[in-house]
C-alpha cells in the first residue's frame, strides 16, 4: 500500500482502502464470471420478449377461433401486460428487500406454471386470468435482471453490457415470430407456440438457482461475510490482483412486508422527484409505441390484406433486425452518453412507425419501414434500460426500475385499448401514431431538462449517516 504525505504534519499515512463495491466495479470483465450472470439474466429477458410478442400471435388467432370482438381480443394482451406491470414493481421491491437471487429465480417458475395453465384452458375468461398471472411472474425479469447484471458488471463496461442485455429481447421476439409462423402454418394450433417456450423457461429456472447473490446488495444489507465471500471469489475467477478492502457502514436493512411496496414508492419520490418523473415518462411513452407495434402490427398487416404467416414473419423480422440495433447501441452508448442517443433514436423510431402506418397500402414501402423501425427502436430501448437502471442507488435500483417498468406495462396494456378503440377510429392509424410520437418528444424534452447524464458514474451504495 503506497503511503501518502501529510503536508501539514510532515508525516506519512496509509492511503485509504477501497470499498467492496469499488473492488467489484474495478474488476476486469471475464465471461466465466460476470459473463455467466449476463447470459443467465439475458435468457430470462429473452422469455419476457417472447411472451410479449406471443400476444401479437394469439390476438388474431384467438379472435378467429373464439369469435372475439376487437375489444375482447385486446384483453389478451392487456391482461398479460397489466400482470407484468404489477409484477414489475412487486418483484422489484422484493429484490430490493430479500435479494436479487431469490426474486431472480422465482419469476420464471411462476411464469412457466401459468403459461401451461393457459395452454390447458378453452375459455377466454380463464385464459385472460392465466395470461395475467403468467405476466405477473415474468414482469419481474427485467427490473431484477438489470439490477443483478448491473451490480456484477465493472464500471467501465457497464454501459455496453447493460445495453447489450437488450440483445436478448430481439432474439426472443424474433424466435416467437418465426417459430409461431411455422407452427401455426404446419399444425394450425395456437397452443403450440405457448408450449414451445415452457420447457426452456423451466430449464433456465433451475440454472438460476446457482447464480450468486449480488455483492452490492449484500453490502447494502450489512451481510459482510457473505459479501466478502462473493467478492473474493470474483477476484479469484477474474485473475485480478488481491487487495485489502473495507465495507462501508450502511443503514439497518429493512424487512419485506406488505407495506414495503408503498415504502419503496415513497422512497423513490423522496430520493428525487425529478428523476422518477423522467424515468416514468420515458418508459410510458417509448414502450407504449413499441408494445403497440409488437402486439398489433400482425393484426394491422392482416387487416391491410397481408397473409397471416407473412404478417408473423414480418413482425419476427422487425424484432430480428433489432439485434443489429442493440449492437449499435452498445457501441455508441459510452461514446455519446445516454441522454442524446436515447432522445434522437426514440423520436425517430416513433415517427417511422407513423410513416409505416401511412404507407401500409404500398407493399414496396412496408418491409423497409418495418425493418427501419425495428432497428432504430432497438437502439433506443437498451439505452433507456441502461440509463434508468443507473439513476438510482443500490437500495432503490430494483424498485426504481421496477416501478418505471410497471408504468410502461400499464401503458402497453391500457394504451392499445384506447389506441385501437378510440384514437384510430377518430384519427386513422397514421395520425394516431403521430399522437404517440408527440408524447415521446415531450418525455425526451423532460429528460434533457430534469435528469443527469450517467455515463461513467459509479453505482451508489448508500452509507449510514
Digit-coded pLDDT (tens) for 144-172: 777 788 889 888 887 778 778 878 888 88
DSSP string, 46-107: HHHHHHHHHHHHHHHHHHHHTT--HHHHHHHHHHHHHHHHHHHHHHHHHHHHH-HHHHHHHH
pLDDT over threshold 50, residue 36: yes
Q: Please give the angle made by the CA atoms of 346, 134 and 99, to the nearest 5 degrees.
A: 80
Tell me if 4 is assigned to some domain: no
User: CA 95: distance to chain centroid?
Assistant: 15
Q: Residues 43, 137, 282, 335: what is their CA dihedral angle, to the nearest 10 degrees?
A: -20
Averaged pLDDT for residues 13-27: 79
Averaged pLDDT for residues 366-376: 93
Interval 317-340: pLDDT, tens: 888 898 899 889 888 887 888 899
Tell me if 464 is assigned to some domain: no
Take residue 288 and report the three cell numbers written for it: 407504449
Interval 270-323: pLDDT, tens: 888 999 999 999 999 998 898 888 878 888 888 888 887 888 888 888 888 988
Domain span holding position 194? 15-450
Averaged pLDDT for residues 44-72: 84
Quote the pLDDT of residue 352: 95
Averaged pLDDT for residues 195-211: 80
Selected residue with higher pLDDT from 252 and 129: 129
Average pLDDT, the chain: 83
* pLDDT band at residue 457 using 50, 70 and 90 as cut-offs: low
pLDDT over threshold 50, residue 11: no
Quote the pLDDT of residue 229: 93
Task: Mention every residue, 6+ apart, whose C-beta is less than 8 A from residue 260.
Answer: 93, 97, 254
Task: Specify the residue for cell string 395453465.
Answer: 117
User: Radius of gyration over alpha carbons of the chain, in Å?
Assistant: 23
pLDDT over threshold 50, residue 8: no
pLDDT over threshold 80, residue 395: no
Q: What is the pTM of this model?
A: 0.70
Quote the pLDDT of residue 5: 41
Distance of alpha carbon 78 from alpha carbon 68, whole angstroms: 15
Furthest-apart CA atoms within the chain: distance in Å: 87
Residue 13's H or E segment, with its range, is strand 11-14
pLDDT over threshold 90, residue 132: yes
Give the CATH number, domain containing residue 28: 1.20.1250.20
DSSP string, 135-166: HHHHTTHHHHHHHHHHHHS-HHHHHHHHHHHT
Interval 220-229: pLDDT, tens: 888 889 889 9
Quote the pLDDT of residue 155: 82
Q: How many domains does the chain have?
A: 1
Quote the pLDDT of residue 465: 43
Take residue 313 and report the three cell numbers written for it: 414473419
Distance of alpha carbon 243 from alpha carbon 247, whole angstroms: 13
Take residue 68 and report the three cell numbers written for it: 372475439
In contact, 176 and 53? CB cutoff 8 Å: yes
Distance set, CA 383 to CA 94, 389, 455 (Å): 25, 10, 11
Tell me if 329 is assigned to some domain: yes
Tell me if 461 is assigned to some domain: no
Quote the pLDDT of residue 320: 87
In contact, 47 and 138? CB cutoff 8 Å: yes
Selected residue with higher pLDDT from 389 and 323: 323
Amino acid at each position: 500500500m503506497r503511503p501518502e504525505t501529510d503536508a501539514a504534519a510532515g508525516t506519512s499515512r496509509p492511503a485509504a482502502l477501497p470499498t467492496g463495491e469499488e473492488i467489484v466495479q474495478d474488476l476486469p470483465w471475464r465471461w466465466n464470471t460476470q459473463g455467466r450472470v449476463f447470459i443467465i439474466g439475458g435468457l430470462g429477458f429473452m422469455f419476457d420478449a417472447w411472451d410479449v410478442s406471443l400476444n401479437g400471435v394469439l390476438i388474431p388467432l384467438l379472435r378467429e377461433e373464439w369469435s372475439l370482438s376487437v375489444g375482447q381480443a385486446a384483453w389478451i394482451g392487456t391482461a398479460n401486460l397489466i400482470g407484468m406491470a404489477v409484477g414489475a414493481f412487486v418483484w422489484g421491491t422484493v429484490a430490493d428487500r430479500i435479494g436479487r437471487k431469490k426474486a431472480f429465480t422465482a419469476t420464471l417458475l411462476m411464469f412457466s406454471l401459468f403459461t401451461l395453465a393457459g395452454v390447458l384452458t378453452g375459455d377466454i375468461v380463464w385464459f385472460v386470468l392465466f395470461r395475467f398471472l403468467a405476466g405477473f411472474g415474468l414482469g419481474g425479469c427485467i427490473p431484477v435482471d438489470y439490477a443483478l447484471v448491473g451490480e456484477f458488471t465493472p464500471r467501465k463496461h457497464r454501459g455496453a453490457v447493460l445495453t447489450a442485455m437488450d440483445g436478448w429481447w430481439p432474439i426472443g421476439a424474433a424466435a416467437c415470430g418465426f417459430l409461431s409462423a411455422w407452427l401455426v402454418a404446419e399444425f394450425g394450433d395456437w397452443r403450440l407456440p405457448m408450449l414451445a417456450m415452457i420447457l426452456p423457461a423451466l430449464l433456465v429456472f433451475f440454472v438460476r438457482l446457482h447464480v450468486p447473490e449480488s455483492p452490492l446488495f449484500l453490502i447494502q444489507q450489512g451481510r459482510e461475510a457473505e459479501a466478502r465471500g462473493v467478492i473474493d471469489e470474483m477476484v479469484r475467477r477474474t485473475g485480478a490482483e488481491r487487495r485489502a478492502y473495507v465495507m462501508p457502514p450502511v443503514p439497518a436493512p429493512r424487512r419485506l412486508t406488505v407495506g414495503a411496496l408503498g415504502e419503496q414508492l415513497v422512497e423513490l419520490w423522496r430520493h428525487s422527484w425529478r428523476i422518477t418523473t423522467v424515468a416514468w415518462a420515458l418508459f410510458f411513452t417509448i414502450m407504449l409505441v413499441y408494445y403497440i407495434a409488437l402486439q398489433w402490427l400482425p393484426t394491422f398487416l392482416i387487416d391491410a390484406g397481408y397473409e397471416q404467416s407473412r404478417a408473423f414473419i414480418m413482425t419476427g423480422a422487425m424484432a430480428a433486425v433489432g439485434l443489429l440495433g442493440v449492437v449499435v447501441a452498445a457501441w455508441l452508448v459510452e461514446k455519446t452518453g445516454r441522454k442524446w442517443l436515447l432522445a434522437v433514436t426514440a423520436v425517430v423510431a416513433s415517427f417511422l412507425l407513423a410513416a409505416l402506418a401511412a404507407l401500409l397500402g404500398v407493399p414496396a414501402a412496408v418491409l423497409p419501414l418495418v425493418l427501419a423501425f425495428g432497428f432504430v427502436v432497438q437502439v433506443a430501448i437498451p439505452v433507456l434500460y441502461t440509463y434508468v437502471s443507473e439513476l438510482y442507488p443500490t437500495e432503490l435500483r430494483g424498485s426504481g426500475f421496477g416501478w418505471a417498468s410497471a408504468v410502461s406495462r400499464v401503458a402497453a396494456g391500457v394504451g392499445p385499448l384506447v389506441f385501437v378503440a378510440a384514437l384510430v377510429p377518430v384519427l386513422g392509424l397514421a395520425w394516431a401514431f403521430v399522437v404517440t410520437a408527440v408524447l415521446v418528444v415531450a418525455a425526451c424534452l423532460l429528460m434533457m431538462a430534469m435528469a443527469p447524464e450517467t455515463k461513467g458514474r459509479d453505482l451508489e451504495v448508500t452509507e449510514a449517516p
